[in-house]
Amino acid sequence: MPHGLTNYNSESYFNKKTTFFTDVNIDKVQIIGTPLIRDRIDIGDKSNPFVNKNRLYVQGHEDDISTALFTNTAGDCAIYLLNDNRTDAKNGNLVDTGSYIELSGKWSTTNTAANRTWGRIGAFKETNTSDDGAGYLSLYSRPDGSGLTERLRITSTGNVGINSTEPARTLDVVGSIRKTVYEPGEIIETLVGVCDGNDVTVKSGTYTLSDVNADQILTDSHAVISGSSIEYTPPAGTTRVCYEFWVYMKDSGSGNNSRPLLHFQSQLDNDNGAPTVINNSRHTWRYASPIDTQDVQTWIYNKVIVSIGQVDTESVANGRLESWDSARTFRWTARRYSSSYAAQLHETGNWDGTGTDIRVRPHVKITAIA
């Protein structure tokens, strides 16, 4: 039984300081007890044993430290680590002084005696101003081939920084964020691009937009507009998909034929893969003028919205899907009313006053909404 153990009210207490040694006359662990203060373990501390009531009190070094700055006046905490930045504190450099816990373990199968520190939890003074009690909390991890790196900081005001040591907002993140749960109405992803053959990467994957390099003459029958077809899979959590499509048009007639009257509609594959018209996407674009000969050129805007998971039975025609968890082809089609109302797409005439026709590629925007 260690020296100093006695009984008090049928319970065991240390009523005297009991010290364990690993070196001659060097205190390493002290167990201190009285009838008023239950067992307390001091590691590396040779100070007055009754200054505080911490169950575990750890002091890394024996250097003299100003008790006005570093003594735990509140007491009664479960674990109390005394400041480790002794020299800086004495010299008046108070910022970032504090204490930390490091966690380590074996890291090599060949050098079994070697340990590696994997992480650190620390609390430090936030400013260099004496008597300013603001402090911050930090978490560290260790990447392979490098030392401990601070990953998360919580400031004295409650701001949280991930890979940021100076978070200016409630949550500041340096790096990308991935999530699977969204607030209603939150935009999950937006796919935006020009139909020039380039890739566009968003959360749900990488999409290659068509390269529109020729004009398209509209006929009396609906035809898929070049560049409008895209095989799309919404990310998880999507309840609505909005497909917006801009296409450039110019008239291709003369006299009375120079008054375009055009019809547009969107199609989406049903669950059997068949293209199905979405009724609410259908619309007409018309140019009317009392003058026979006109030069009509403009962007035409198309938009359709599809809902997901709000019905038990799918109806693509009504823009309502039971689910959409695999690729479906979205597209737009167009036709002229008749040959008397002719038009062509993807080209402008008489560009910049020179009479030169130039290519104008469609624009695509698909928005997935929670």
Calculate ∠ Cα 202-205-210, nearest 5°.
85
Predicted local confidence at residue 130, as pLDDT = 87
Predicted local confidence at residue 55, as pLDDT = 57
Instruction: Compute the distance between CA of residue 170 and CA of residue 211 in angstroms, rounded to an integer.
Output: 44
Enumerate residues 6+ apart whose C-beta is below 8 A from 353: none
List the structure tokens of 363: 């624009």
DSSP 233-291: -PPTT--EEEEEEEEEEEE---GGG-S-EEEEEEEEE-TTS-EEEEEEEEEEEE---SS
Q: Which domain holds residue 79?
A: 5-173
Predicted local confidence at residue 92, as pLDDT = 60
Q: Is the same domain home to 226 and 290?
A: yes
Residues of the chain below pLDDT 70: 1-92, 113, 254-257, 290-294
Predicted local confidence at residue 180, as pLDDT = 82
Residue with tokens 């008023």: 36
| Domain count across the chain | 2
Give the amino acid at 268. L
Instruction: Compute the distance between CA of residue 46 and CA of residue 54 in angstroms, rounded to an integer.
Output: 15
146 assigned to some structural domain:
yes
291 assigned to some structural domain:
yes
180 assigned to some structural domain:
no
CATH number of the domain where residue 326 is located: 2.60.120.1340
pLDDT tens-digit map of 4-38:
444 434 444 444 555 554 444 444 455 544 444 44
Global confidence as pTM: 0.69
48 assigned to some structural domain:
yes
Among residues 173, 204, 238, the one where a domain terminates is: 173
Q: Is the same domain home to 12 and 61?
A: yes
Instruction: Compute the distance between CA of residue 59 and CA of residue 117 in angstroms, rounded to an integer.
Output: 19
Is residue 108 a contact partner of residue 136, using CB atoms and an 8 Å limit? no
Nearest to 364 by CA among 334, 333, 335, 330: 330
Q: Is the same domain home to 223 and 329?
A: yes
Q: Is the same domain home to 139 and 269?
A: no
